[in-house]
Structure 1
Amino acid sequence: MTTAIANHLIIAPIVLPLLVGAALLLMDDRRRPLKALLSVSSTAALLVISMFLVWRADGMTALSHTVSYPLGNWPAPFGIVLVLDRLSAMMVLLTSVLGLAGLVFSLARWHRAGPHFHTLFLFQLMGLNGAFLTGDLFNLFVFFEILLAASYGLVLHGMGVVRVKAGLHYIVVNLAASSLFLIGVSLIYGVSGTLNMADLALRIPTLAESDRMFLEAGAAILGVAFLVKAGMWPLSFWLPTAYAAASAPAAAVFAIMTKVGVYVLLRLSLLLFGNGAAESAHFGTQVLLYGGMATIAFGAVGVLATQTMSRLAGYSVLVSSGTLLAAIGVGNATATSGALFYLVNSTLAIGGFFLLIELVERGRDPGADVLAVTMAAYGYTDEDDVAEEVEVGERIPTVVAFLGGSFIAFALLLAGLPPLSGFIAKFALLTAIMDPAGIGTGGPQYVVTWVLVALLILSGLSAMLAMTRIGIQTFWSPIDGVVPGVRGVEIAAVAFLLLLCVALTVRAGTVFDFMESTAASLHAPTDYINSVLQGRAGAAGQGGATP
């Protein structure tokens, strides 16, 4: 593959789903088999391209691991630029993996539940990939709106009273977040005169004190918009209900849509507000630390209190987001590398769990969980009835065995217990936080360190207790013994994500090497700035780059 073709592949994760999605929009909706074939094929191609981009971002020469792609060949900061580095390539790959799993799962029935499902799904992938690859705040806003517009259709896909009600709340909240985004971007541009991220990193240290106040106000407003998307408490009231109401394929992709907010906060906090940002250094990190801790606590309580699997998964998203936000607030490279590993593991686990939930609940009465809790509270058991109906030595259906085994695996992943990758991710985070170079070794910060450690451990314990309780109600003593009917594509999608989590466990050393390199480049962003601005970071004394 020539260098020119390889360079143009950077824009492929945006252009490919855009073109295929637009073409499918023009096709008659009755030609669903052809539309499904084109959609899945393009997403599979997207997965191959994203794997190449990860290899390229990690396999560059020692001079540069970051590649900029100026659209129209207009130089930055005047033109639109896409930037490929390890972090953006990893997020694009993660998007492609979840997108392919969700699309394959939807072939069983969800792609027929409403019009233009494949177009909405592909536009969702396009918006996500664009948000991860862009190097400009305004174009981040554009891609943010694209992915939100597609998500509005996906969250309402399939209709139903519960889904429409939750979807309308979701739309209102995200429209408000978009308004905050636009206000924050406007303030930043009014003060700095640029929205290119690399150019901002150079200009922030030189701002006058009066301008710095407005810049930080704009950054704070922008941060609130992304904290809404990331689900930080108390801005997370909408998330569990909306994610629980969405269709399984949509909810699986929403697992990474929440990480868009985390990605942007991680990127901007280290690029714009690193050690070299003068008086603005480390702006907002304490908010992320304490807000993340509050989100972990809120999510853990929600996990324990909920009686349905779908809402349990929604609160697990909050625990994941809170953990990542707190890790960003810790602010050292070791914690960042552990957080990146945790991000990949938790996103795959929660996405796969959303898919599994539909298969498990398909053969159950919608009120079975609540009824089971009520029966337990009043001490009612039906052991005699079960003894009469179930024969000794009855063969467990293969479907139930697969669902039960997958449920156990996801329980271990979400709780962070060995031997799967969830334990490795939690252990890496705890090691980084308890390191003397972490939050602090004395005074109030010492207390914060141990509170965060306790929250991480207790959140895993709450996930284990909740999953055990719901697992017993579902598989051990079900009120109804109906074996759900599932299709091969649904099993394949769930198994695909589970196997990737197993691969993360087996190849943890290799993955951690990549995460450590990614964290090191994020904490020293000179290479990023040089790639976008063609060497201006060195001439300007590295600006916002961390020495």
Structure 2
Amino acid sequence: MSGWQQHLIILPILIPLFAAVALVPMDETRRRSKVAIGVVAVLLQLAVALYWVVVADRVEGSAPAAVYLLANWDSPVAISLALDRLNALMLLLNAVLAIAALIFAAAKWDRVGVHFHVLFQLLLMGINGAFLTNDLFNLFVFFEVMLAASYGLLLHGSGRVRVKAGLHYIAVNLVASSIFLVGVALMYSASGTLNMADMAYKVATLGAADRQLFETGAAVLAVAFLIKSAIWPLNFWLPASYGAAVAPVSAIFAIMTKVGFYVLLRLWLLVFGESAGVSSSFGAAWLVGLGLITLGYAIFGMLAATNFKRFAGFSVIASAGTLLTAIPLGGSQGTAAALYYLLASTLAVAAFYLLVDLLDRIRDFSASLLAVTIESFEAEGMILPEESEVGVAIPAAMAFLALSFGLCLLVLSGLPPLSGFVGKFALLVSALGSEAGSAMQYAVWLFVILLVVAGFAATLTLTRLGIQLFWVPERHKKPRLRLAEAGPLTALIGLTVLITLAAGPVLGYLQRAADALHAPAAYIEGVLGALPKDRQATPSQHSSLLSGEHEDEGARL
């Protein structure tokens, strides 16, 4: 890869950063300019993500497609960014959700408070950085950028409900950040490094005392990620917080729990893989147990849900439990199935949050308009004219909403023939057929039962809520939708259909990504063998790092 192409790895971080810097001094009255800058920024992120998805898939084996050493320091001292199939996919998913949420927000919601576009770009920067970094402390930095921006976005629009939910959300995540730092400190004190690939290289050589300290740090660090992944009993904050946010914010928040899952997946397979010696598969039973409990908890939450937003929150929790269980249970095939399920569920939940905002207009459009005006536009000078709220009617709006609801129901409940069913079926097949699953037969069968029951619970709840909404004639109002609102919703639902039609190629890509995660030797070698720009790494240099030179360098440091 040529020199200029290597620098493209940092663009998903720099593009939203520069966009945020450009947006900060702009007055709130310059709304069109802000929207234009934001849309251009997310389109550029989408283009870069697509580029890296293609480039990463051309790499043989598990070697990273690119490694970027910040400040041109030697590895592993340098803060490194590494890109492979997995984080290229996550960058693409983040960019897709960002475009849909931003366009939807431009129809109305970006005007209900200040600095929406700045916070939105900073959120994207934090998420992208968390996906790309190979350094634990840098991961903490990007987590904090992401969380700080999410605090402002959750409170965007003001109102008592959002402030109450926001305070709970902030308190929980501040505790998670403190736990994060403690875990990082313990792992660093045991291994002497913050580079994740370097930790994976050293973990098998740790003495008994250092290994216990390292595993303790990993367990503490996992608690922080489990809070962010919405795993029981640390997920009580999610339904109220996500439900209180404005619709486009809830949609982009759909990927935030997946950031925690991504880090757990990356770290667990990288650091505690087969090459970790005594520490191999550390915490596997805990991951499976917590995942199953979370899935069971989500089932009861979905059945008890009395509104769409509450159901959506518990649907996010159900996907979190499903994904956590699949990490150690299904092997490489299970990881690929979990990644496919991640794509389908994230797109569907984001689309559902946007849809719920539009469905509110069916119940009582004039009352809904009044509520939005009072609650969301209460800030002085931000009350919008009525015609901007109503928008331009699209043809057959009622039929459009009903069809969108039906498609979301199919994906979220895992009913055939859409991607939700494909993902769940692949998970079941992998769990029943994997060697890892044979060692935990009771867990496998419980996972199968809970996954099926979760589908029935989602179907039952959405059918009940849908009947209350669509089959009560006196509540029907003729909704008027903007194209800027219907377009993003259509795109997200369309993508769930597209990955169903292209399930073969998509699962093929995800299987290659999963195979690389389960055999990370080339990834570790690629990260640790990366040299500064003024020196070129040769194959012999890469090999020498793993055969002894790396240890000598660590001793000198």
Q: Which residue is 1:374 aligned to?
A: none
Q: Secondary structure at the match of 2:477?
A: coil
Q: Which residue is 1:358 aligned to?
A: 357
Q: CA deviation at 1:262?
A: 0.4
Matches within 5 A, 1:57-96: 57-60=56-59, 64-96=63-95
Residues 344 and 419 of structure 2 are in contact (CA less than 8 Å); yes or no, is this contact kept in structure 1? yes
Matched, 1:229 2:228: yes
CA deviation vs aligned residue, 1:41-64 (integer Å, no higher than 9, x gap): 110111111000111111135694
Q: Which residue is 1:402 aligned to?
A: 400
Q: CA deviation at 1:71?
A: 1.2
Q: Which residue is 1:178 aligned to?
A: 177
Residues 431 and 437 of structure 2 are in contact (CA less than 8 Å); yes or no, is this contact kept in structure 1? yes
Q: Secondary structure at the match of 1:363?
A: helix
Q: CA deviation at 1:483?
A: 2.2
Q: Which residue is 1:117 aligned to?
A: 116
Q: What is the aligned-residue identity percentage?
A: 49
- In the alignment, the residues of structure 2 paired with residue 136 and residue 63 of structure 1 have an alpha-carbon distance, to the nearest angstrom, of 19
Letter matched to residue 421 of structure 1: S
Q: Which residue is 2:414 aligned to?
A: 416
Residues 292 and 325 of structure 1 are in contact (CA less than 8 Å); yes or no, is this contact kept in structure 2? yes
Q: CA deviation at 1:484?
A: 2.5
Q: Secondary structure at the match of 1:26?
A: coil
- In the alignment, the residues of structure 2 paired with residue 492 and residue 452 of structure 1 have an alpha-carbon distance, to the nearest angstrom, of 37
Q: Which residue is 1:491 aligned to?
A: 486
Q: CA deviation at 1:361?
A: 1.1
Q: Which residue is 2:390 aligned to?
A: none
TM-score, normalised to structure 1, is 0.91
Matched, 1:462 2:470: no
Residues 155 and 162 of structure 2 are in contact (CA less than 8 Å); yes or no, is this contact kept in structure 1? yes
Matches within 5 A, 1:190-205: 190-205=189-204
Residues 308 and 465 of structure 2 are in contact (CA less than 8 Å); yes or no, is this contact kept in structure 1? yes
Matched, 1:257 2:243: no
Residues 288 and 443 of structure 2 are in contact (CA less than 8 Å); yes or no, is this contact kept in structure 1? no
- In the alignment, the residues of structure 2 paired with residue 116 and residue 362 of structure 1 have an alpha-carbon distance, to the nearest angstrom, of 27
Matches within 5 A, 1:455-534: 455-477=450-472, 479-534=474-529
Matched, 1:539 2:547: yes
Matched, 1:320 2:295: no
Q: Which runs of 4+ in 1 moved over 4 A?
A: 540-543
Query: What stretches of structure 1 of length at least 5 have no aligned partner?
Result: 369-395
Q: CA deviation at 1:332?
A: 0.8
Q: Secondary structure at the match of 2:438?
A: coil
Residues 63 and 84 of structure 2 are in contact (CA less than 8 Å); yes or no, is this contact kept in structure 1? no
- In the alignment, the residues of structure 2 paired with residue 113 and residue 125 of structure 1 have an alpha-carbon distance, to the nearest angstrom, of 20
Residues 82 and 134 of structure 1 are in contact (CA less than 8 Å); yes or no, is this contact kept in structure 2? yes
Q: Which residue is 1:107 aligned to?
A: 106
Q: CA deviation at 1:479?
A: 4.8
- In the alignment, the residues of structure 2 paired with residue 79 and residue 524 of structure 1 have an alpha-carbon distance, to the nearest angstrom, of 24
Q: CA deviation at 1:480?
A: 1.7
- In the alignment, the residues of structure 2 paired with residue 66 and residue 44 of structure 1 have an alpha-carbon distance, to the nearest angstrom, of 22
Q: Which residue is 1:387 aligned to?
A: none
Q: Which residue is 2:306 aligned to?
A: 307
Q: Secondary structure at the match of 1:69?
A: strand
Query: What stretches of structure 2 of length at least 5 have no aligned partner?
Result: 368-393, 530-541, 552-557
- In the alignment, the residues of structure 1 paired with residue 90 and residue 514 of structure 2 have an alpha-carbon distance, to the nearest angstrom, of 14
Residues 154 and 250 of structure 1 are in contact (CA less than 8 Å); yes or no, is this contact kept in structure 2? yes
Residues 364 and 477 of structure 2 are in contact (CA less than 8 Å); yes or no, is this contact kept in structure 1? no
Letter matched to residue 539 of structure 1: S
Q: After alignment, is 60-69 or 268-277 more displaced?
A: 60-69
Residues 83 and 532 of structure 1 are in contact (CA less than 8 Å); yes or no, is this contact kept in structure 2? yes
Matched, 1:284 2:283: yes
Letter matched to residue 404 of structure 1: A
- In the alignment, the residues of structure 1 paired with residue 290 and residue 432 of structure 2 have an alpha-carbon distance, to the nearest angstrom, of 19
Letter matched to residue 195 of structure 1: L
Letter matched to residue 194 of structure 2: L
Q: CA deviation at 1:331?
A: 5.0
Residues 156 and 246 of structure 1 are in contact (CA less than 8 Å); yes or no, is this contact kept in structure 2? yes
Q: Which residue is 2:538 aligned to?
A: none
Q: Which residue is 1:378 aligned to?
A: none
Q: CA deviation at 1:540?
A: 5.7
Q: Number of residues paired by the alignment?
A: 511
Q: CA deviation at 1:474?
A: 0.9
Q: Which residue is 1:155 aligned to?
A: 154
Residues 62 and 519 of structure 2 are in contact (CA less than 8 Å); yes or no, is this contact kept in structure 1? no
Q: Which residue is 2:387 aligned to?
A: none
Q: CA deviation at 1:447?
A: 1.9
- In the alignment, the residues of structure 2 paired with residue 304 and residue 541 of structure 1 have an alpha-carbon distance, to the nearest angstrom, of 58
Residue 451 of structure 1, aligned match among 429, 446, 455: 446
Q: Which residue is 2:32 aligned to?
A: 33
Residue 429 of structure 1, aligned match among 427, 430, 439: 427
Q: CA RMSD in A?
A: 1.8
Residues 285 and 331 of structure 1 are in contact (CA less than 8 Å); yes or no, is this contact kept in structure 2? no
Q: Against the structure 1 CA distance between its residues 278 and 331, is the aligned structure 2 distance closer, same or farther, given a 3 Å change threshold?
A: farther
Q: Which residue is 2:140 aligned to?
A: 141
Letter matched to residue 403 of structure 1: L
Q: CA deviation at 1:8?
A: 1.1
Q: Which residue is 1:129 aligned to?
A: 128
- In the alignment, the residues of structure 2 paired with residue 128 and residue 397 of structure 1 have an alpha-carbon distance, to the nearest angstrom, of 37
Residues 287 and 329 of structure 1 are in contact (CA less than 8 Å); yes or no, is this contact kept in structure 2? no
Q: After alignment, is 357-366 or 167-176 more displaced?
A: 357-366
Q: Against the structure 1 CA distance between its residues 469 and 210, is the aligned structure 2 distance closer, same or farther, given a 3 Å change threshold?
A: same
- In the alignment, the residues of structure 2 paired with residue 244 and residue 96 of structure 1 have an alpha-carbon distance, to the nearest angstrom, of 22
- In the alignment, the residues of structure 1 paired with residue 62 and residue 407 of structure 2 have an alpha-carbon distance, to the nearest angstrom, of 42
Q: Against the structure 1 CA distance between its residues 179 and 436, is the aligned structure 2 distance closer, same or farther, given a 3 Å change threshold?
A: closer
Q: Against the structure 1 CA distance between its residues 33 and 77, is the aligned structure 2 distance closer, same or farther, given a 3 Å change threshold?
A: same
Q: CA deviation at 1:538?
A: 3.9
TM-score, normalised to structure 2, is 0.89
Residues 62 and 517 of structure 2 are in contact (CA less than 8 Å); yes or no, is this contact kept in structure 1? no
CA deviation vs aligned residue, 1:294-313 (integer Å, no higher than 9, x gap): 11111111011011000100
Residues 304 and 463 of structure 1 are in contact (CA less than 8 Å); yes or no, is this contact kept in structure 2? yes
- In the alignment, the residues of structure 1 paired with residue 425 and residue 197 of structure 2 have an alpha-carbon distance, to the nearest angstrom, of 33
Q: Against the structure 1 CA distance between its residues 430 and 235, is the aligned structure 2 distance closer, same or farther, given a 3 Å change threshold?
A: same
- In the alignment, the residues of structure 1 paired with residue 279 and residue 195 of structure 2 have an alpha-carbon distance, to the nearest angstrom, of 18
CA deviation vs aligned residue, 1:447-480 (integer Å, no higher than 9, x gap): 2211110000000110011111111111122552
- In the alignment, the residues of structure 1 paired with residue 337 and residue 132 of structure 2 have an alpha-carbon distance, to the nearest angstrom, of 22
Q: CA deviation at 1:290?
A: 0.8
Q: Secondary structure at the match of 1:486?
A: coil
- In the alignment, the residues of structure 2 paired with residue 51 and residue 469 of structure 1 have an alpha-carbon distance, to the nearest angstrom, of 40
